[in-house]
C-alpha cells in the first residue's frame, strides 16, 4: 500500500522560501518563536532549568504508600552501589504505567513448586484471550491448561482446560508452568537501556528481572531507588543455587526475589523489591486463526469506525473485528490502482515479517473489491503527528531517543532478511502505548534477490527521503533505507519539521549533488548529527548498516542517561 499522505509541515513563519541563502534561513529559524519546531528537540542538551521544568515522578495512591521509614528515609546511598540517575520526571505516556502501583506481596513466590511443575504439557495463561471461533478456547490470565499439540507454524497450540474444553489458543499467550515468564517481574531478554526506560517513571522499589541480550542465560535485577536504576547481577554457584550476595543463596530465582522483597532492608540491595514493572503490551496474535494459511477474513466481520488517513493507493480506517471484539486497522485499495496479484504480494511480505517493532498483518479481504489489508491497531497513530503534537513535558529526550532506537531495531531485522522498505519516514511509523514504535507501510517493500532493486519506470518516490541513487537511477538497497533513516532521525530531532525547509522539491537533488546536507538542528549533540551525516554519505557503500546504527543509538541512550545523572 502507498504511504499515508501527510501534508508537509511548512517552515516556521520566519523561515525563508526557495532561493534564499542557507545561512540566512538557519539564522531566521533560530530566531523563530515557534518553540515546538526548533526548541522541543529530542536531543536538547540538558540544563538545570530544563530538568526543573519536568513533572515530578508519580506518587502512588494513598492505600499503596509504604511506611515513612521505608519510602521516605533520607539515608545516604552507600558508595559501593552504582546506578544510573534518571531525570526528575519523564514522559507522560510512560508514567501512566505506574499510576495504579500497589505494594507487591510476592505471594506468587511463596508457593513451593509441586510435582505438576515438572509436567512438560502443563502451561499457564499469561494474558486473557477471547475465543473468536468454535475451535478456539477462551483463556483467563493465570489459568492452567494442558497443551496437546501445535499447528504447522507453531503459532497456535491446542489446549485442554480444567473444565474439559479443548480448543486452540495463541502460543505466545501461554508459557510452561515451570517457566520464569509466568512471573509478573520477569521480562525476559531485554537490554539494560530498555529496563531503565521501563523503570524511568516508577517509584522507589520498582523493579524487574531480565536476561541479558548479549549474554544469554545471564540475568540481572534492575531496581529503582531515589531517581536511580541499580543493576545487580544474579550469580549461580556450582550447585546451581542463585544469589546476589554470597551469604543468601536460593534454589530458584523466584525464592531469591521473594527473599529480597520480604525484608525490611534490601539485604545487599539498595531497597527491597516492592513494585514489579508492568510488562509491555500484550503480544500480537498472528494470524488470528489456527488454520494453515487462513488469512482471508469475512468482510461482514469488519465494522469500520472512522478514517485515519489516506494514501496513494487507498485509505486507512480504524475498525472492529466483530469475531474477536478487537480494534484493528484496515487499509483499503482503490479500484483500478493495483492488481490483486500486487495486493496479495504486499500481504505476503507483511505475513513473513514478525518483529516487535514491525506492524503485524492479521488478515486480508480479497473476495470482492475494495480489497482490505487488516493489521494490528496502534493507539497513538503515526509518529509524525505524534511528534508534532507532543511537548517537552510529554516526550523527553530519553523517550524519543528510545523511540528512534526501536525503529533502528525493526529496520535491522528487515536488513537481516534482505528486505528494503523504500518509504521509511516518520509518517510510516506507528506509535502504541508506553512509546512503543513500529515500522509500518510495507507497500513498496521488496525482497532483494541481488544487492539492489530497480524500480519500474514511472514509479513515484518521496523525494526528500530518497537517496541520490534512487532519484537518479531508480536503484534501491538497504543503504537507501539507511539514507531515509537519517532523514527520519532529523524529523525526530526537530519534532516533525518537514525536511529541507525552504528548498523546493525540484532543487533537492541538485543541492545533494553539490554536497549540501541539512544542517545540525538547534540543540542536537554532535554525535547524533554525525550519525545523520553518516547516513547521508553520497556513496551507498559508505553508509553504516542498521545493525551498527542500532548499536550506536543504544550507546547514545546510555550517554544521555549519564548526563542526567550528573545534573540530578
| 351, pLDDT greater than 70 | yes
What is the sign of the dihedral through the CA atoms of 65, 70, 74 and 77? negative
> Taking Cα atoms as reference points, which of 525, 526, 544 lies closest to residue 534?
544
Percent of the chain, pLDDT > 70? 69
331 is in an annotated binding site: no
* pLDDT over 60 at 39, yes or no: no
Quote the cell numbers at residue 187: 521480562
Nearest to 439 by CA among 413, 465, 462: 413
- pLDDT computed for residue 64 by the predictor: 34
Domains of the chain as residue ranges with CATH = 1-54+381-568 (1.10.510.10), 62-88+104-108+181-273 (3.30.505.10), 114-177 (2.30.30.40), 299-376 (3.30.200.20)
Which residues form the catalytic set? Answer: 423
In this predicted structure, what is the pLDDT of residue 86?
37
Where helices occur in 130-262 by DSSP H, the ranges are 192-198, 253-262
pTM, rounded to two decimals: 0.69
Predicted confidence at residue 478, as pLDDT, reads 94
**The three grid cell numbers given for residue 435, joined into one nine-digit string:** 512509546
To which H or E segment does residue 13 belong? none
| Other residues' Cβ atoms within 10 Å of the Cβ of residue 553 | 22
Give the percent of the chain with pLDDT over 90: 35
The C-alpha cell at 316 is: 486507512
pLDDT tops 90 at residue 386? yes
Are the beta carbons of 309 and 316 closer than 8 angstroms? yes
Residue 567's SS3 state is helix
Cα(335)–Cα(376) distance, integer angstroms? 24
Neighbours of 90 (CB within 10 A): 24
User: pLDDT: is 11 or 299 the higher one?
Assistant: 299
Buried b (16+ CB within 10 A) or exposed e, 248-276: bbbebbbbbbbbbbeeeebebbbbbbbbb
pLDDT of 489 higher than 90: yes
**Cβ neighbours, 10 Å, residue 510:** 11
What is the overall mean pLDDT for the chain? 76
Span 458-479, pLDDT tens digits:
556 789 999 999 999 988 899 9
Is the pLDDT at 30 greater than 90, yes or no? Answer: no
Distance from C-alpha of 208 to C-alpha of 276, rounded to nearest angstrom: 6
**What pLDDT is recorded for position 311?**
66
Q: Please tell me the chain's helix, strand, coil percentages from 3-state DSSP, rounded to the nearest 5.
A: 30, 20, 50
From the CB of residue 542, how many other CB atoms can be counted at a distance below 10 Å?
10
140 pLDDT higher than 80 = yes
For the stretch 288-346, pLDDT in tens is 566 655 678 889 989 999 998 876 667 899 999 887 778 999 988 776 656 677 777 76
Average pLDDT of 221-235?
A: 91
Amino acid at each position: 500500500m502507498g504511504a499515508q499522505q501527510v501534508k508537509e509541515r511548512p517552515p516556521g513563519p520566519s523561515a525563508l522560501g526557495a532561493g534564499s541563502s542557507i545561512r540566512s534561513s538557519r539564522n531566521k529559524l533560530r530566531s523563530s518563536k515557534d518553540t515546538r519546531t526548533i526548541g522541543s528537540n529530542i536531543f536538547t542538551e540538558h540544563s538545570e532549568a530544563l530538568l526543573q521544568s519536568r513533572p515530578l515522578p508519580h506518587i502512588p495512591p494513598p492505600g499503596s504508600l509504604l511506611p515513612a521509614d521505608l519510602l521516605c528515609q533520607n539515608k545516604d546511598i552507600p558508595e559501593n552501589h552504582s546506578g544510573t540517575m534518571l531525570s526528575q520526571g519523564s514522559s507522560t505516556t510512560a508514567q501512566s504505567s505506574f499510576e495504579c502501583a500497589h505494594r507487591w506481596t510476592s505471594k506468587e513466590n511463596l508457593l513451593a513448586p509441586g510435582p505438576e511443575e515438572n509436567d512438560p504439557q502443563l502451561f499457564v495463561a499469561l494474558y486473557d484471550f477471547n475465543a473468536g471461533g468454535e475451535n478456539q478456547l477462551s483463556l483467563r490470565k493465570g489459568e492452567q491448561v494442558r497443551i496437546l499439540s501445535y499447528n504447522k507454524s507453531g503459532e497456535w497450540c491446542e489446549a485442554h482446560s480444567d473444565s474439559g474444553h479443548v480448543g486452540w489458543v495463541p502460543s505466545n499467550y501461554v508459557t510452561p508452568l515451570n517457566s520464569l515468564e509466568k512471573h509478573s517481574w520477569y521480562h525476559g531478554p531485554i537490554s539494560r537501556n530498555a529496563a531503565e526506560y521501563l523503570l524511568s517513571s516508577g517509584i522507589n522499589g520498582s523493579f524487574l528481572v531480565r536476561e541479558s541480550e548479549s549474554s544469554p542465560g545471564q540475568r540481572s535485577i534492575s531496581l529503582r531507588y531515589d531517581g536511580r536504576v541499580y543493576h545487580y547481577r544474579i550469580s549461580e554457584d556450582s550447585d546451581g543455587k542463585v544469589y546476589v550476595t554470597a551469604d543468601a543463596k536460593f534454589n530458584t530465582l523466584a525464592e531469591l526475589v521473594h527473599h529480597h522483597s520480604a525484608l525490611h532492608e534490601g539485604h545487599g540491595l539498595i531497597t527491597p523489591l516492592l513494585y514489579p514493572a508492568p510488562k509491555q503490551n500484550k503480544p500480537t496474535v498472528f494470524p488470528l486463526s489456527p488454520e494453515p494459511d487462513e488469512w482471508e477474513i469475512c468482510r461482514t466481520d469488519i465494522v469500520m469506525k472512522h478514517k485515519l488517513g489516506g494514501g496513494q493507493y487507498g485509505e486507512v480506517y480504524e475498525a472492529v473485528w466483530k469475531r474477536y471484539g478487537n480494534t484493528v486497522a484496515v487499509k483499503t485499495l482503490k479500484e483500478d490502482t493495483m492488481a490483486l496479484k500486487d495486493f496479495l504480494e504486499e500481504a505476503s511480505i507483511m505475513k513473513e515479517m514478525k518483529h516487535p517493532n514491525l506492524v503485524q498483518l492479521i488478515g486480508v479481504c480479497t473476495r470482492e473489491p475494495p480489497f482490505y489489508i487488516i493489521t494490528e491497531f496502534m493507539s497513538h497513530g503515526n509518529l509524525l503527528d505524534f511528534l508534532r503534537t507532543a511537548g517537552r513535558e510529554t516526550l523527553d529526550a530519553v523517550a524519543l531517543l528510545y523511540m528512534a532506537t526501536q525503529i533502528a531495531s525493526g529496520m535491522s531485522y528487515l536488513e537481516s532478511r534482505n528486505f528494503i522498505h523504500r518509504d521509511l519516514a516518520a509518517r510510516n511509523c506507528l506509535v502504541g502505548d508506553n512509546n512503543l514504535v513500529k515500522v509500518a507501510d510495507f507497500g513498496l517493500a521488496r525482497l532483494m534477490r541481488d544487492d539492489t532493486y530497480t524500480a519500474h519506470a514511472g514509479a513515484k518516490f518521496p523525494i526528500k527521503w530518497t537517496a541520490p541513487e534512487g532519484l537518479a537511477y531508480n536503484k534501491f538497497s538497504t543503504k537507501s533505507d539507511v539514507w531515509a533513516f537519517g532523514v527520519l532521525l532529523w524529523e525526530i530531532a526537530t519534532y516533525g519539521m518537514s525536511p529541507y525547509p525552504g528548498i523546493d522539491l525540484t532543487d533537492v537533488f541538485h543541492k545533494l549533488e553539490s554536497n549540501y546536507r541539512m544542517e545540525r538542528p538547534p540543540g542536537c549533540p554532535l554525535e547524533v548529527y554525525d550519525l545523520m551525516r553518516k547516513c547521508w554519505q553520497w556513496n551507498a557503500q559508505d553508509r553504516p548498516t542498521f545493525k551498527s546504527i542500532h548499536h550506536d543509538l543504544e550507546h547514545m541512550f546510555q550517554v544521555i542517561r549519564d548526563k542526567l545523572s550528573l545534573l540530578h
